[in-house]
Structure 1
Amino acid sequence: MLFEDILITILKAVDGERTISSPYHLIKGKKSGQTIQDIGYYKLHPYFGVMPKLEKKVYDKAVQKLFEQGFIITDGQVVRMTEASMALQTPVPLLNGWKYRGKEQLFMARLSLIVQSLSQIHQNQRAFDPVVIAEDIQQWVKKYLHKINYRDAESCRNFKTELAVSLSKVDVDAAGKRIVVQRLSGFKIGGLTWEQIAAAERLEVIDIKLQAIETLHAWMDVLETRQFPMMSELLDGVIQQSSLTETARRTEYYFRNGRSLEEIAALRGLKTSTIEDHFVELAMNDPGFDILAFMDGSLYSKIIAVSHSRNTKRLRDIKEAIPEAGYFQIRLALATKGETL
């Protein structure tokens, strides 16, 4: 999947309802209420936080290309798709940003250092410059190597076999696998830079990075099956255990213990609007969330009906049709994905 594909997919989902900056915040993983609720409203979970270090100038360059190709136009403050872009078929993503939230980089760092260490050690090279300098990762890898008895040649072969077989089961293009492998270093072999790989593949660096991330996400999905015990160990602390952000989990704790929205805001020393964002996130992720604690069933039904009939999730448009509904109530209702009560 190329970066242009991600942009087009996101912009199609929010067509005419968000500004051109919306995909940028989503891809960066901004934890604002607007971004979090858009994930639920438009089912954009795969793309959340997939490139937390995305530079604005790189993003702007990609967006400008879409304008020049006639795929998008501006309409006031929002951006709209053209007929040409609506006809485009983008690949089905294997990304899972909401689940991994950038932790694939931890997995890759561990893998890189393990591969380098085993390669060097089994060539009787005890001293080498590690490709990963982060102390916490180095300590984790040291424990892992001792655990698998890294000095044993058979153990090393088993790790190599698991790596190769598990990667072969990843359902991505060969290019994605090739990119990940080319980033690895070993005895007298240095991993290639993003720029070197991009030149060889005749793609932009951002596209190469995205393909690597997609491959890592799909690879970690394979390893989660636990068919490859040595490789699966690398997922320790990588898998997101909750679909909620950490701050929303704290609000959930108070709510489940009978605290009101206002009480939670006071206890946590946060703005009421911030706690409202947390409740929207709860409504988005918890099928058992009690939305009737914030509105009656008839108001909920009105909000969903207007959203469906007008094919919009713009709060202002729905508010104009249902003036008795508060913006927070509208956000909550939309976060439930329009399910009937």
Structure 2
Amino acid sequence: MKLSSIILKIAEKMDGQRSLNASLHVLRGKRSGQTLQDVDYFSVKPYFSILPKLGDSTFAEAVSSLHHAGMISESEGIVTVSEKGKRKAKELPPFQFDGWHYRGREEIFFLRMVLLVQTLSQLRNSQNSFHPITNDRKIQQFVKEVLRSLQDTRPNSARFFADELLLALKMTGISDLQAAVLCHRLTGVSASGWTWEQLEESTGETVASLQLEYLEALHRLITVSESTDAEERLPILHMLVKDIRIKTPLTDSTAITKKLFDQGLPIDEIAIVRQLKVNTIEDHITEIATNDRNFPILRFVGRDDQLAVQHEVRRNDVKRLRFLKEKFPHLSYFQLRLILSTTKGELV
């Protein structure tokens, strides 16, 4: 799995409407009003925040490979996917990330699983004292609670969990490579988890590619483990995925703004109360609108303006704010973002 393939998938969704930086912001999980609107409007939620530490040079290198392969081109900062690129995007297998709902929390799940495997392995060999794979006290406490729940089956817990993990891996449908990466990252009594460099040497795949395979595999494992029948079929993994899925897509800061907004406070007053810039509060409001089908947009934009913008978007298939601003100069960029955020379903 290559980063360039994921960028191509996102660029194809935004074809002719956004710059490549928009794809970078999606992958990094930028919380700006523009990016949050793009994520929803272009249906790229699966890729949101899957690579929060993606470096500029790494991204540029992947983009360069797409340019050289004739997959994409840029004009006035806007990326267009060529016919060759569109064919390639369709040929790519469907990626099964769920960045919107996990946002890096898959690593918490993995650390819980690694520590549980390590602990059960040590206990099975009568080793009650060992150095835990993670020093995170919350992870340690969580695993202790899981072990307490397994008290009645403690002698056989290691075997039970091994069988359960094998079943779960089959249920996910992940590739042999992905299963191997996950398993080799685990730590037991006589075997430490492999480093990325060791996996690279063993598989012949690059570290960057392996990390993407690992990430998708984790997302698929979590999805299976939180399914409706997992509590019975995968009881231990079902415990490990507790609170991994984001319950609310709003950031903590936006949630505070929402409480004030729901009380009827206007944006400028919310900014004063929160001691934040008006632009920041507008980003919060856009984030709220993106995630609330009943958002009261009439507090900001009249119905006639909403219909006019919708008609323009539908008629010319244009979603670039600059073009819409030229067509509707009396509307602010904030108002235009709100219209796009709250009318996606009506335009599809």
What's the TM-score once normalised by structure 1's chain length?
Answer: 0.93
- Going by fraction, where is helix more abundant, 1 or 2? 2
Partner AA of 1:185 in structure 2: T
Query: After the TM superposition, which residues 306-325 of structure 1 pair with which residues of structure 2 at under 5 Å, given as runs?
Result: 306-325=312-331
Corresponding residue for residue 155 of structure 1 = 157
The answer (yes or no) to whether the contact 1:122–1:151 under 8 Å persists in 2 is no
Corresponding residue for residue 181 of structure 1 = 183
Q: CA deviation at 1:150?
A: 8.4
Corresponding residue for residue 4 of structure 2 = 4
Matched residue SS, 1:169: helix
Q: CA deviation at 1:202?
A: 2.5
Query: After the TM superposition, which residues 191-340 of structure 1 pair with which residues of structure 2 at under 5 Å, given as runs?
Result: 191-225=193-227, 226-227=231-232, 228-340=234-346
Q: Which moved more, 1:27-36 or 1:101-110?
A: 27-36
The answer (yes or no) to whether the contact 1:19–1:78 under 8 Å persists in 2 is yes
Q: Distance in 2 between matches of 1:60 and 1:138?
A: 39
Corresponding residue for residue 130 of structure 2 = 128
Point out 4+ residue stretches in structure 1 off by more than 6 angstroms. Answer: none
Corresponding residue for residue 17 of structure 2 = 17
Q: Which moved more, 1:203-212 or 1:331-340?
A: 331-340
Matched residue SS, 2:79: strand
Q: Distance in 1 between matches of 2:52 and 2:345?
A: 32
Partner AA of 2:163 in structure 1: T
The answer (yes or no) to whether the contact 1:284–1:337 under 8 Å persists in 2 is no
Corresponding residue for residue 65 of structure 2 = 65
Q: Distance in 2 between matches of 1:186 and 1:328?
A: 53
Q: Give RMSD over aligned pairs.
A: 1.9
Q: CA deviation at 1:191?
A: 1.4
Partner AA of 1:26 in structure 2: V
The answer (yes or no) to whether the contact 2:171–2:224 under 8 Å persists in 1 is yes
Q: Residues 99-132 of structure 1, C-alpha deviation per residue, up to 9 Å, x if partnerless?
A: 0010000000110111011112211223333222
Q: Distance in 2 between matches of 1:56 and 1:200?
A: 28
Q: Residues 252-302 of structure 1, C-alpha deviation per residue, up to 9 Å, x if partnerless?
A: 111111212222111111111111111211221111111112111111011
The answer (yes or no) to whether the contact 1:41–1:337 under 8 Å persists in 2 is no
**Aligned counterpart for 1:142 among listed residues 127, 141, 144:** 144
Q: Distance in 2 between matches of 1:151 and 1:186?
A: 19
Q: CA deviation at 1:53?
A: 2.4
Q: CA deviation at 1:240?
A: 0.6
Matched residue SS, 2:20: coil
The answer (yes or no) to whether the contact 2:34–2:337 under 8 Å persists in 1 is no
Partner AA of 2:29 in structure 1: G
Q: Distance in 2 between matches of 1:151 and 1:82?
A: 58
The answer (yes or no) to whether the contact 1:16–1:75 under 8 Å persists in 2 is no
Q: CA deviation at 1:47?
A: 0.5
Q: Which moved more, 1:235-244 or 1:93-102?
A: 235-244
Query: Does 2:61 correspond to 1:56?
Result: no
Partner AA of 1:14 in structure 2: M
Q: Distance in 1 between matches of 2:195 and 2:135?
A: 17
| Structure 1 segments unaligned to the other structure (5+ residues) | none
Q: Distance in 1 between matches of 2:344 and 2:131?
A: 55
Q: Residues 4-44 of structure 1, C-alpha deviation per residue, up to 9 Å, x if partnerless?
A: 22110111122233232222221121222222221122111
Q: Residues 192-237 of structure 1, C-alpha deviation per residue, up to 9 Å, x if partnerless?
A: 1122223333322111111111111111111112332221111223
* Equivalent pairs, count: 341
The answer (yes or no) to whether the contact 2:26–2:35 under 8 Å persists in 1 is yes
The answer (yes or no) to whether the contact 1:70–1:84 under 8 Å persists in 2 is yes
Corresponding residue for residue 41 of structure 1 = 41
Q: Distance in 1 between matches of 2:34 and 2:327?
A: 21
Query: Does 2:167 correspond to 1:165?
Result: yes
Q: Distance in 2 between matches of 1:69 and 1:9?
A: 15
The answer (yes or no) to whether the contact 1:33–1:277 under 8 Å persists in 2 is yes
Partner AA of 1:195 in structure 2: E
The answer (yes or no) to whether the contact 2:47–2:99 under 8 Å persists in 1 is yes
Corresponding residue for residue 79 of structure 2 = 79
Q: Distance in 2 between matches of 1:241 and 1:206?
A: 29
| Structure 2 segments unaligned to the other structure (5+ residues) | none
Q: CA deviation at 1:159?
A: 2.2
Q: CA deviation at 1:182?
A: 1.4
Aligned CA distance change for structure 1 residues 158 and 67 (closer, same or farther; 3 Å): same
Q: Distance in 2 between matches of 1:140 and 1:331?
A: 41
What's the TM-score once normalised by structure 2's chain length?
Answer: 0.92
Q: Distance in 2 between matches of 1:198 and 1:150?
A: 40
Partner AA of 1:313 in structure 2: K
